[in-house]
Structures are given as C-alpha cells and as structure tokens.
Amino acid sequence: MSNDDNLKRLLAMQQREAEIIAESMALQGDDFSDDDDHGHRSRNALAHVRPPMPEMRFEKQFERSVQTLKEAGAGPLTIFLSAVVQDQIVMPLLNGFVWCLAGHAWRWYRMPKQQRAAVAGESSSFVRGVQHGIATWASNVYHTLVHLPALSSSPTKLE
C-alpha cells in the first residue's frame, strides 16, 4: 500500500469516528457549538453509547433457590448446606476445576506429538514433591496408628 492509500484510509476512519460521535451526541441532546465549555465530552461521547455492564452477582439466583427450598419445607440447616455451601462454594470450585482441566487437556491436545511424548516422559519437580509429601504423611500416620496402643496405655513400672 502506498502512503496516499494509507492517508485516505486513515482519513475515512477519522470521518467515520466523527460521524459516530455526532450521532451519539445527537442521541444525548448535545449540540456541537464552538463556545461549548465541555469539549472533553465529545471524546467520551462514544463511551456513553456502549451498553452497560451486565449484572454478574448471583443474588437473584440465590434468593430463588432459597425460596424453592422453603417452599419444599426445608429447614434452616438444609437451606444453608444447599444454598450457601453447595451453590456458592462447591459448585464454583468444581466449575473452575473442570475448566482448568479442560484448558490443560486442550493445550496438551494442541501440542505437537514429538513435544507431547517428551513431556509425558519427564516428571516435574512439583509432582515429585507432592509424592514425597504424601509418602511422608502416610508414613507418619502409619507409625502413629501402630504405636497408638502403646501411647494410650498406662506406663508399666519397672521393678
């Protein structure tokens, strides 16, 4: 592309942006007089036309599930366990875990076969550390349980 073509394209883009701003200002009832003290409003006019942010809180869903449980005759403990623990803690945790696994599986699937074979053959230090921690914990639990009768009985007197 030549410089003249680039300049024409940029000029057309600037004219289109000015038209969009003019349309948004017309929707707001503002005029384009030169004596306007609020010249910064023409730059931000496009932002006022954008749709608002959607409601991302789960208050309505939570109230609906509490109301459904109350209608079913559930007690306060059941409502707490179902509406609060399950809907607000367990399900988002499970949802994030599944999306994380899906993302890792997708990345592994998209990896070239040679690189995938090399990654599958090596073990990361994190995994080795987790294995060591689990083995140490299991050993401690085993030794505690084996020696538990000796710890709970009364000491014998040596004569």
Give the separation between CA 24 and CA 21, rounded to whole angstroms.
5
Tokens of 16: 């289109």
The verdict on 78 and 109 lying in the same domain is yes
CA distance 109 to 115: 11
Confidence grade of residue 14 (pLDDT, cut at 50, 70, 90): confident
Q: Is residue 156 part of a domain?
A: no
67 residue type, one letter: Q
99: in domain: yes
Q: Which tokens belong to 83?
A: 């509406």
> Can you tell me the mean pLDDT for 146-158?
65
Q: In the predicted model, is pLDDT for residue 52 greater than 70?
A: no
In a domain, 144, yes or no: no
Domain span holding position 43: 3-49
Full-prediction pTM beyond 0.85? no
Q: What is the mean pLDDT of residues 126-135?
A: 82
The verdict on residue 137 lying in a domain is no
In-domain check, residue 131: no
